[in-house]
Amino acid sequence: MSTQTEPPSTPTDVPPPRMNAALLGIRDTIKTLSTLGVAKAKCNPAQGIIMGWQSMCYLAFAAFFAWMVMSTVATDLSPGLGKFLMFGIFGFAALVLVIIYGSNLVTGDYMTTGISLMTGQLKWLEVFYQWGITHAGHWISGFVIGWMIVIGADQAGAVGAPLMNMLAKIATVKSVGLQWDQLFYRGIFANWMIGMGVWGAFRTQEVIAKIVLIGIPVSVFFATGFEHSIVNHFALSAGIWAGAEVTWGEAWFNNLVPVTLGNIIGAMLLQGMVYWYCGGMQTYLGKDKWKEPHGTYRDLGGAIARSWSLMFVFVAIMPLGAGALLLYGVEPAMGIEPGTANANWIEPIIVMIYLTVISLIVKWGMWPRKPWYSIPAT
């Protein structure tokens, strides 16, 4: 008599199959970037400003050289060849130096500290401070290095007028030649590609591979003409020092507000949040403890709420606040008319102070701190 065995029953509590994010290394990359974001947020104010200054210098040198080549080649040979040479110059010099040399570029931090916010390793105000103090360093470097190159060193050299005209035209187009919606979408694309470059840099330990993975997307955004708020800190400043008929207030209010908003969406949401979600929505539980896989939709909802609220509040207080202060407060008081060349030092210094003071208020006045009597004696 033959006996038949019953097929094993399928347990009803087995979860449906999910993508094995660990197989792709996504979870490890998320943890690395989240921890890196924490380290960036723990910098003291002086460190934050100096590291922001340093990365802006790298971008400024690369951008100025690319525009110098473009102004010569486009005039003498071909605009298309000039664009191609810009592709080869900027990406393989700018962000490569920022990451491999070591410094803070806030548009990359939109993804790294943004991921730290999603995982719960950083609080809302900690990320706000890190973005703000790094912005202050970028701005100080942007207008100072712009003056040093254009005015102090008279670095236009043999190319002279074509380069100065190009810088002035770039600043004019960015400030008054494009609408907010155009700048917003160009900002999304630019920093989505910056996010790609930063993500790629932490997917490998090989230096040559890092250079290629960083350089290609960054070169594409620059040669295409997408809008990057921190490159614009230098581009707008250099253009104004070169004689562009726009004011500092127009540059900040008309360009940096929509571009900054687009930049945050591109890096934090379209790059960082996509991979955080696909990596299992990891949540930091404490030292060396992570909730994985998989996070819940409550985790996702909380991350979305924190990210979007931070994005809108930061843009409203920092670039929008600074731009409105200049355009509707300082410039009318100084008798500066929109659409006129007025390369003064007063307005850039006011913005420098504004960004720094807001960041310090957030860090020193709003971060929760333990009372002194709860700190054990050493």
pLDDT band at 184 (very low <50, low <70, confident <90, very high): very high
Q: Residue 374: its pLDDT value, please? A: 40
pLDDT band at 377 (very low <50, low <70, confident <90, very high): very low
Inform me whether the pLDDT recorded for 14 exceeds 60.
Answer: no
Range name among 58-67, 173-182, 322-331 with the lowest pLDDT average:
58-67
Question: Tens digit of pLDDT for each residue in 251-303?
Answer: 999 999 999 999 999 999 999 999 999 888 988 888 878 876 677 888 899 99
Q: Is the dihedral of CA 288, 292, 297, 300 positive or negative?
A: positive
pLDDT band at 146 (very low <50, low <70, confident <90, very high): very high
Inform me whether the pLDDT recorded for 30 exceeds 60.
Answer: yes
Question: Tens digit of pLDDT for each residue in 72-114?
Answer: 775 555 566 666 676 667 777 777 788 888 889 999 999 999 9
pLDDT band at 160 (very low <50, low <70, confident <90, very high): low
Cα-only R_g, the chain: 23
- Calculate what percentage of the chain has a pLDDT beyond 90: 60
pTM for this model (two decimals)? 0.88
Question: Tens digit of pLDDT for each residue in 34-44?
Answer: 999 999 999 99
Range name among 10-14, 45-49, 222-226 with the lowest pLDDT average:
10-14
**Displacement of CA 35 from its chain's centroid (Å):** 18
**Displacement of CA 119 from its chain's centroid (Å):** 19
Inform me whether the pLDDT recorded for 57 exceeds 80.
Answer: yes
Q: Residue 80: its pLDDT value, please? A: 61
**Which residue shows structure tokens 């960036």?**
40
Three-state DSSP class for residue 67: helix
Give the residue from 212, 187, 174 showing the smallest Cα distance to 269: 187
Burial level of 362, CB count in 10 A (0-12/13-18/19+)?
buried
pLDDT band at 193 (very low <50, low <70, confident <90, very high): very high
Side chain identity at residue 210, one-letter code: K
Q: Residue 142: its pLDDT value, please? A: 96
Inform me whether the pLDDT recorded for 211 exceeds 80.
Answer: yes
pLDDT band at 219 (very low <50, low <70, confident <90, very high): confident
Mean pLDDT across the chain: 86
222 versus 236: the higher-pLDDT residue is 236
Rounded CA-CA distance 119/303 in Å is: 8
Q: Residue 107: its pLDDT value, please? A: 94
Range name among 3-7, 270-274, 278-282, 332-336 with the lowest pLDDT average:
3-7
3 versus 34: the higher-pLDDT residue is 34
Please give the structure tokens belonging to residue 137: 């360093």
7 versus 334: the higher-pLDDT residue is 334
Inform me whether the pLDDT recorded for 71 exceeds 80.
Answer: no
Q: Residue 378: its pLDDT value, please? A: 38
HSE-CB at 77 with a 13 A cutoff on CA atoms is: 11
Inform me whether the pLDDT recorded for 237 exceeds 80.
Answer: yes
Q: Residue 6: its pLDDT value, please? A: 54
Give the residue from 127, 94, 133, 100 showing the smallest Cα distance to 112: 127
E strands of 160-295, at which residues?
Answer: 283-286, 289-291
Q: Residue 163: its pLDDT value, please? A: 81
Domains and CATH numbers, the chain: 30-364 (1.20.1080.10)
Please provide the DSSP assignment of 34-55 as one string: HHHHHHHHTS-HHHHHHHHHHH
Averaged pLDDT, 317-335? 97
Inform me whether the pLDDT recorded for 369 exceeds 70.
Answer: no
Range name among 115-129, 311-325, 360-374 with the lowest pLDDT average:
360-374
Inform me whether the pLDDT recorded for 373 exceeds 50.
Answer: no
Q: Residue 288: its pLDDT value, please? A: 77
Rounded CA-CA distance 347/316 in Å is: 19
